[in-house]
Structure 1
Amino acid sequence: MKKITFIYLIFCSILLISSCAKQKKSEIVLDFWQFWTDPKVKPTLIDIINDFEKENPDIKIKLTDLTWSEGHDKIVVAFASGTTPDVLELGSDWVPEFSSQDVLLDVTGEAEKIQNDFLMWEPATYQSRIYGFPWVLDTRVLFYNKDLMEKVGLDPEKPPLTWDELLSYCKKINHLKPQAYGFGANSAERHRLYKKFLPFFWGNGGEILSEDRKSSEVNSAAGKEALEFYKKLTEQGTIDNQRMLDESFKQGKIGFLISGGWLLNDIQKNLPDLKFGVCLIPKPEKGVFSSFAGGEFLVISNKCKNPDSAKKFIQYLIKKENSLKLCKAIGSAIPSAKGSELDPYYQNNKNLLVFQEQLRYSQTSPAVPQWVYIEEIIEKAVERVMYDKKTPSQALDEAKVEIDKILK
């Protein structure tokens, strides 16, 4: 009898081990590459992912962090070597590049079912097919230090509305240097500098590409005038990388700075006594308000072995309630899901309302596959002017020639 019982227990153990092995084998693991590395933001993303895994116990998410300075190159290498993750976060200005290379999964069918519920599908649309889902949107505004304005005799409750006012105010504060600088200008950081110049370029009526997208118009009179103005701004302040500019602004050392929601969130949480404001980026006398409209998109590699699970994961992330959680951790970002702006989080914060207003005036970069290389050319042109290596006319004329070569 003991022998039979022993054999029975062994048999049950084998069945249990076999069952567990099958369960583990059936578990789906999705590799997800993303850019939310900020310690104030990433925990919220992890919480959302954990909730997804609880609702979908057969799917596990393997998270990999990327940086904006190196992420693009790593993604290019991954696609070239066939080692791509299942799901990727891409900036709105990168999506057209990869959509055109036949490396992303066509999600047109799924996207069309929810298209009316979300904003900004243009960057993910290539040749009338959709290759990604919009996740969160954001823009840049002008931050200003009220104490510095008051110190030089300016009304701290009346920020500049026009180019002339902005330049005049920056000159006054710049007289305080080295204790304080008028304007904070970005140095040659990849994927950043062009986002600070284009608001002036677009606001003055500049167009980067022709309507048929076959040639560049970056060297138009409007474009050259905008770069001339931007050069004057940089002369009335300091030039540094974004992190150092943000730090200097928080320390009360910069009067005016174009920045984003990350800075607003940091100030509101950690520097409640800092007297600052945000406003629309000033426009030229006969121009319009403008800024760069950025967005984060979620895409699927066409090598993904579990596309249905990947789609389920993405649709969970972009759900309004989940993307709202993430955006509240980010600061000023807003979900692509329509109606999100009505959430009390945005309506009860006057600074966030400025971001929402600025977003209405903002533009996305042209949705062309070559954009990431075009932006680099524009950044180099701006950099050469900032450091007195070229005049605005020379720099943009040369940029046009380079961009036209890329577009051929």
Structure 2
Amino acid sequence: MKRIAPILALLLVGAAACSSGGRTESSGPVEITIWHGQADIAAKSIEGLVAKFNSTHPNIKVRTDSGGATADAMLPKVTAALAAGTYPDIAYLYGSWAPNVAHSPKAADLSKVVRDPKIGWNDFWPNTRQVATVGHKVIGFPANVDDLAVLYNKKLLAKAGLRPPGPDWTWDDFRTMAHRLTDAATQTYGTTWAVSGGEETTWTYWPLVWQNGGQILSPDMKRTAFDSPAGVQGLTLLQQMAVQDKSVYIDSSPAEKGQKLFESGRLGLFLAGPWVLPDVQAAKIDYGIAPLPGTNGDHQTISGPDDWAVLDHGSRRVKAATEFLTWLTAPEQQLVWMNDTGALPTRQSIAKLPGYQAYLRKYPGVDVVTANLANARQVRPASTRYPRVSAYVAGAITSVLLGRSDPKTALDDAARKSDALLRVPGA
């Protein structure tokens, strides 16, 4: 995953707190705080949009803070802040985390709010609405949608005598290409895999499980299913590439050095998505984009819809947060965000805007990633236990890629830990 990184803090700026002039909670602009978790180009973009909103909406003051909560680390930050009462009004959360926040009474329920025609709720892609909805509770607005594809370095492929991957390529093709692209003398690698222990490690693995006919959890989410032959087969491929072929750069850095390797021209195949396009273009890499390799014709990928979760500090601030997010997620602002970051459209109507074709020209290949959303047929389990299950699986993947365990043993161990967790009531 994804996908988008540092910013924000645990300090909450009190909304419309009393000033020396005696301003009260019910007078003056409503102040709300957003923890957006973005870094670099994405951070500049969201900060610019916030500034524009503040300049055009004098009754609301949106504040961001430069603490240390990244998008990857937002769930524990928000969870701790909810317990301490220092939570923001809006927080950027991965869609798989929605159940962990939805159960809190401090999570606003926007199920009635989104019926307002001016929000255009049905204009959002169905899977983004699905992720923002837990049971009958809508916890926020769709923030982002993407899917996993493969970026490839055209120059390195040509040097190795390889043709660019086509729409029907397989994981065997991927492995062969990665092996031929690897050159120890120049420290050039075929591909990379993150093993920093976060969701980035597992989210790139799940398509291999799904394409082989497996699942993450059982349908009732009470037991694991990833330790099936499908899961072992997927992890065995990664083991062969990393341990036998030595064509995988094992990325243990939270700073995502694998991406920097691609930007430096020393990585041939990069499992990523549209969120890296601005950085790749800034590095002047001549790249192409292909859908994920397939298994028996199945090119199923993973999509990562994320949410702007709204947290309750009283009706006045919830209303202000809703007004801000209605503006932020409107097609016009989303197209600005897309042009800045390479993000995919969260709304269907964005494609009808006059500037949409310019966006497609700016990011060659992004149309491939958008069309690839049709292959994103599954989402991660909507379970409060999923983040911990994912962490166990990430540990299993890491141990295999580092040559410390075999796929079956590692997955069985992760399954035992996960099943024990899933059996605990209210865990």
TM-score (norm 2): 0.83
C-alpha contact 2:132 2:138 (8 A) present in aligned 1? yes
Name the residue aligned to 2:338: 327
Q: Give the direction of change, closer, same or farther, for the CA distance of 1:22–1:145 in structure 2 (3 Å limit).
A: closer
Which whole-Å CA distance do the structure 2 matches of 1:48 and 1:56 have between them?
12
Fraction of identical pairs, as percent: 24
Which whole-Å CA distance do the structure 2 matches of 1:174 and 1:42 have between them?
34
Query: Aligned-pair distance for 1:320?
Result: 1.1
C-alpha contact 1:99 1:369 (8 A) present in aligned 2? no
Which whole-Å CA distance do the structure 2 matches of 1:310 and 1:358 have between them?
32
Per mean C-alpha deviation after superposition, the further-off stretch among 201-210 and 61-70 is: 61-70
Choose which of 277, 280, 283 in structure 2 pairs with 1:267: 280
Which whole-Å CA distance do the structure 2 matches of 1:73 and 1:336 have between them?
26
Counterpart code for 1:171? H
Describe the SS at the equivalent of 1:257. Answer: strand
Name the residue aligned to 2:9: none
1:156-305 to structure 2, matched below 5 A, reads: 156=164, 161-175=169-183, 177-234=185-242, 235-240=246-251, 241=253, 243-271=256-284, 274-284=285-295, 286-304=296-314
Which whole-Å CA distance do the structure 2 matches of 1:160 and 1:166 have between them?
11
Query: Aligned-pair distance for 1:69?
Result: 4.6
C-alpha contact 1:231 1:386 (8 A) present in aligned 2? yes
Which whole-Å CA distance do the structure 1 matches of 2:223 and 2:417 have between them?
10
Name the residue aligned to 2:368: 354
Query: Aligned-pair distance for 1:158?
Result: 5.0
1:3-402 to structure 2, matched below 5 A, reads: 25-38=27-40, 40-65=41-66, 66-113=69-116, 114-119=120-125, 120-156=128-164, 161-175=169-183, 177-234=185-242, 235-240=246-251, 241=253, 243-271=256-284, 274-284=285-295, 286-304=296-314, 306-331=317-342, 333-342=343-352, 343-348=356-361, 349-362=363-376, 363-402=378-417
Q: Relative to total residues, which structure has the larger helix share, 1 or 2? A: 1
Counterpart code for 2:70? T
Which whole-Å CA distance do the structure 1 matches of 2:370 and 2:390 have between them?
25
Which whole-Å CA distance do the structure 2 matches of 1:30 and 1:144 have between them?
42
Query: Aligned-pair distance for 1:353?
Result: 0.9
Which whole-Å CA distance do the structure 2 matches of 1:190 and 1:161 have between them?
28
Q: Give the direction of change, closer, same or farther, for the CA distance of 1:289–1:357 in structure 2 (3 Å limit).
A: same
Counterpart code for 2:277? L
Which whole-Å CA distance do the structure 1 matches of 2:268 and 2:280 have between them?
15
Describe the SS at the equivalent of 2:420. Answer: helix
Q: Deviations over 1:309-366 (max 9, x none)?
A: 12111111111111221122111x1232223245214544541011112222124211
Q: Give the direction of change, closer, same or farther, for the CA distance of 1:225–1:341 in structure 2 (3 Å limit).
A: farther
Which whole-Å CA distance do the structure 1 matches of 2:331 and 2:213 have between them?
34
C-alpha contact 1:86 1:304 (8 A) present in aligned 2? no
Counterpart code for 2:101? F
Larger Rg over CA atoms: 1
Per mean C-alpha deviation after superposition, the further-off stretch among 390-399 and 63-72 is: 63-72
Query: Aligned-pair distance for 1:370?
Result: 1.6
Which whole-Å CA distance do the structure 1 matches of 2:405 and 2:283 have between them?
41
Q: Deviations over 1:45-92 (max 9, x none)?
A: 223222322332121111124313543222111001111111222111
C-alpha contact 2:148 2:273 (8 A) present in aligned 1? yes
Describe the SS at the equivalent of 1:134. Answer: strand
Query: Aligned-pair distance for 1:303?
Result: 3.1
C-alpha contact 1:180 1:253 (8 A) present in aligned 2? yes
Query: Aligned-pair distance for 1:111?
Result: 2.1
C-alpha contact 2:206 2:216 (8 A) present in aligned 1? no
TM-score (norm 1): 0.87
Counterpart code for 1:77? A
Query: Aligned-pair distance for 1:154?
Result: 1.6
Which whole-Å CA distance do the structure 1 matches of 2:391 and 2:417 have between them?
11
Structure 2 unaligned blocks of 5 or more: 1-18
Which whole-Å CA distance do the structure 2 matches of 1:153 and 1:86 have between them?
53
Q: Deviations over 1:192-225 (max 9, x none)?
A: 1112212222222221011122221111111110
Name the residue aligned to 1:10: none
Describe the SS at the equivalent of 1:41. Answer: helix
Query: Aligned-pair distance for 1:175?
Result: 4.7
Describe the SS at the equivalent of 1:299. Answer: strand
Query: Aligned-pair distance for 1:304?
Result: 3.8
Per mean C-alpha deviation after superposition, the further-off stretch among 88-97 and 110-119 is: 110-119
Query: Aligned-pair distance for 1:191?
Result: 2.3
Which whole-Å CA distance do the structure 2 matches of 1:194 and 1:304 have between them?
37
Describe the SS at the equivalent of 2:302. Answer: coil
Which whole-Å CA distance do the structure 2 matches of 1:395 and 1:311 have between them?
44
Q: Give the direction of change, closer, same or farther, for the CA distance of 1:251–1:47 in structure 2 (3 Å limit).
A: closer
Counterpart code for 2:203? K
Q: Give the direction of change, closer, same or farther, for the CA distance of 1:260–1:34 in structure 2 (3 Å limit).
A: same
Which whole-Å CA distance do the structure 1 matches of 2:34 and 2:160 have between them?
50
Name the residue aligned to 1:3: none
C-alpha contact 2:195 2:397 (8 A) present in aligned 1? no
Q: Deviations over 1:152-183 (max 9, x none)?
A: 22224758810111111112122554442222
Counterpart code for 1:401? R
Describe the SS at the equivalent of 1:26. Answer: coil
Query: Aligned-pair distance for 1:37?
Result: 2.5
